[in-house]
C-alpha cells in the first residue's frame, strides 16, 4: 500500500458559458499522503470548492484523473462510485444550508448508515449514532431536535458526525469553519484535528483563512484562478513564500502587536482577470509587480527542493513536473 492516499493528475474542469469556457480548475496536480492534511488556499472564485467537488465527483471533471488508493475515481461506473462514496466524504461550509430542515439529528446522522447497511438492526443504529454524537462532542439530548433549534457550532458538529458515519478515509473540508464565530472556529478545528489522530483521517482542507490553514495543514497549496501557483510544507510556505501571489497573501495577514511598524503590506493591484478563456502564460502576470514579457508566454513549474514547488520564472530551482515527480517520490 503506497502512502499516497489521493493524487490528482492534470485535473481540469471547464464550465461552458456563453462567452467561452470558464476554467474553474485548470490542470491541477496534487498528492495527499495518508493521514496528512493538505490545505488549499486562495481567494473567492479561484476554484477551491470546485476542485474539492471534482475530486469527490459531485461535479464531473472535464479531464484528468483522480487516483484514490490507486483507483481512478473519474472512470468509475455508478456502482463503484457508490462504494467509493463511503470512503470519501465532504464537510460543508454552511451548517445552515447543508442540513435538511425536516430531519432530526438522529435521522440526519443515521440515514447514510442505513443506506449502506452498516448496522444490523435499529438498536445498533441507535447505539452507533449516539457514539458518533459523543465523538463529535454533541450531547445526546440533541438526538431528537431539528437543525433550526440548534446553534451554528453544534450544527457543524452534526455535519461532521454525518461525514464520519460511514467511516471514511478521506474527507474534503470545504471551509468548514468560515461560517462560525471565531470562538467556535477553534473548537471545531481542534475537534477535527483530534478526529484525524484518532481515526487516521486524511483531509483536504479548503479555506481562504490563512491562520486556519496554518493551524491545521501539513502541506499547503495556493490556488489562483484555477491553477496551483505554489505548493510547500506548511512552515516552508510561511517562512519562505516564493510566488509573488503567495507573498502578497501572507503580507496581508494582520500582525497583532501594538506599535508594530514594519513595511507596508504588498498590496496587489488590479483585479482578478477573467477565468473565461484565459490567455496563455502566468495568470497572475497582469497584477504581478515583477512580471516580464516571458511571463505572458509560459508558466514553468520549478522545484525548489523539500517538496516546495512554485509556478514562477523568477524562482530558481530545477524544472518540475509536479504530478510525476511526486508520484515517483511516493
Partner 1 sequence: MKVKRRSSFLEAWIRLRKNKLAIVCLAVVCLLILIAVFADLITPYENAIANNSAAKFAKPSAEHWFGCDNLGRDMFARVIHGSRVSLLLGFGATAVATVAASLLGSAAAFIGGKFDTVVMRLADILSSIPPILLSLAIAAGFGRGLPQLVISIAIGSLPGYVRIVRSTVLGISGQEYIEAARSMGFGTGKIIVSEILPNALSTILVQATMMVSANILSGTMLSFLGLGVPVPRPEWGAIMSDGLDYIRYASHLVIFPTIFIAITALSINILGDGLRDAFDPRLKGKA
Indicate whether 159 belongs to the interface with partner 1 (CB under 8 A).
yes
Q: 38 near 32, Cβ under 8 Å? A: yes
The DSSP line for 2-20 is -SEEEEEEEEEEEEEETTE
Indicate whether 90 belongs to the interface with partner 1 (CB under 8 A).
yes
Q: Which is nearer to partner 1, 141 or 293 (CB)?
A: 141
**Considering only residues 134-153, where is the footprint of partner 1 by CB under 8 A?**
140-141, 143-144, 146, 148
Rounded Cα–Cα distance for residues 10 and 276 (Å): 19
Q: Which is nearer to partner 1, 7 or 160 (CB)?
A: 160
Q: Which is nearer to partner 1, 78 or 239 (CB)?
A: 78
Indicate whether 126 belongs to the interface with partner 1 (CB under 8 A).
yes
Indicate whether 162 belongs to the interface with partner 1 (CB under 8 A).
yes
Q: Minimum distance from CB of 175 to partner 1 (Å)?
A: 12
- Segment contacting partner 1 (CB under 8 A): 110-118, 187-195, 205-213, 297-305? 110-118
Q: Which is nearer to partner 1, 102 or 263 (CB)?
A: 102
Indicate whether 58 belongs to the interface with partner 1 (CB under 8 A).
yes
DSSP single-letter state for residue 141: G
Binds partner 1 (CB under 8 A): choice among 20, 97, 274, 306: 97
Q: How many CA atoms lie within 13 A of 56 on its CB side?
A: 24
Rounded Cα–Cα distance for residues 134 and 165 (Å): 12
Q: Minimum distance from CB of 113 to partner 1 (Å)?
A: 10
Q: Minimum distance from CB of 92 to partner 1 (Å)?
A: 5
Count of residues binding partner 1 (CB under 8 A)?
Answer: 36
Rounded Cα–Cα distance for residues 53 and 49 (Å): 6
Rounded Cα–Cα distance for residues 59 and 51 (Å): 9
DSSP single-letter state for residue 308: -
Indicate whether 87 belongs to the interface with partner 1 (CB under 8 A).
no
Please, which contacts does 1-5 make with residues 24 or more away whose CB atoms are closer than 8 Å?
1/69, 2/70, 2/330, 3/33, 3/34, 3/330, 4/31, 4/32, 4/33, 4/34, 4/326, 4/327, 4/330, 5/32, 5/33, 5/34, 5/35, 5/68, 5/69, 5/169, 5/170, 5/202
- Segment contacting partner 1 (CB under 8 A): 14-22, 53-61, 63-71, 280-288? 53-61
- Segment contacting partner 1 (CB under 8 A): 25-33, 106-114, 226-234, 259-267? 106-114
CA angle 189, 192, 197 (to 5 degrees): 130
- Segment contacting partner 1 (CB under 8 A): 18-26, 104-112, 183-191, 218-226? 104-112
CA angle 36, 39, 41 (to 5 degrees): 175
Binds partner 1 (CB under 8 A): choice among 3, 20, 70, 115: 115
Phi, psi of 318 (to 5 degrees): -80, 150
Q: 283 near 298, Cβ under 8 Å? A: no
Q: Minimum distance from CB of 40 to partner 1 (Å)?
A: 18
Q: Give the footprint of partner 1 on this chain (CB under 8 A).
A: 53, 56, 58, 82, 85-86, 88-90, 92-94, 97-102, 104, 106, 111-112, 115-116, 126, 129-130, 140-141, 143-144, 146, 148, 159, 162, 166
Amino acid at each position: 500500500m503506497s502512502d499516497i492516499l489521493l493524487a490528482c493528475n492534470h485535473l481540469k474542469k471547464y464550465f461552458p458559458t456563453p462567452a467561452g469556457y470558464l476554467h474553474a480548475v485548470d490542470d491541477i496536480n496534487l498528492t495527499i499522503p495518508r493521514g496528512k492534511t493538505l490545505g488549499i488556499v486562495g481567494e473567492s472564485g479561484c476554484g477551491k470548492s470546485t476542485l474539492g467537488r471534482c475530486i469527490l465527483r459531485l461535479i464531473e471533471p472535464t479531464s484528468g484523473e483522480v487516483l484514490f488508493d490507486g483507483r481512478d475515481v473519474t472512470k468509475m461506473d455508478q456502482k463503484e462510485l457508490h462504494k467509493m462514496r463511503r470512503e470519501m466524504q465532504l464537510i460543508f461550509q454552511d451548517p445552515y444550508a447543508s442540513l435538511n430542515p425536516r430531519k432530526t439529528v438522529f435521522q440526519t446522522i443515521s440515514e447514510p448508515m442505513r443506506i449502506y447497511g452498516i448496522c444490523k438492526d435499529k438498536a445498533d443504529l441507535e447505539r452507533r449514532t449516539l457514539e458518533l454524537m459523543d465523538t463529535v462532542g454533541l450531547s445526546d439530548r440533541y438526538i431528537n431536535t431539528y437543525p433550526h433549534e440548534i446553534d451554528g457550532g453544534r450544527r457543524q458538529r452534526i455535519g461532521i458526525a454525518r461525514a464520519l458515519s460511514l467511516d471514511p478515509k478521506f474527507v474534503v473540508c470545504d471551509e468548514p469553519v468560515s461560517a462560525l464565530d471565531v470562538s467556535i472556529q477553534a473548537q471545531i478545528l481542534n475537534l477535527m484535528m483530534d478526529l484525524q489522530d484518532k481515526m487516521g483521517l486524511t483531509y483536504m482542507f479548503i479555506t481562504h483563512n490563512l491562520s486556519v490553514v496554518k493551524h491545521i495543514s501539513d502541506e499547503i497549496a495556493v490556488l489562483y484562478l484555477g491553477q496551483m501557483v505554489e505548493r510547500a510544507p506548511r512552515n516552508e510556505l510561511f517562512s519562505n513564500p516564493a510566488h509573488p501571489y503567495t507573498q502578497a497573501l501572507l503580507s496581508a495577514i494582520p500582525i497583532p502587536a501594538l506599535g508594530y511598524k514594519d513595511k507596508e503590506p504588498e498590496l496587489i493591484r488590479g483585479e482578478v482577470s477573467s477565468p473565461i478563456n484565459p490567455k496563455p502564460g502566468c495568470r497572475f502576470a497582469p497584477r504581478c509587480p515583477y512580471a516580464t514579457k516571458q511571463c505572458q508566454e509560459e508558466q514553468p513549474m520549478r522545484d525548489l527542493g523539500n517538496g516546495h514547488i512554485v509556478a514562477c520564472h523568477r524562482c530558481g530551482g530545477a524544472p518540475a513536473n509536479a504530478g510525476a515527480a511526486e508520484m515517483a517520490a511516493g
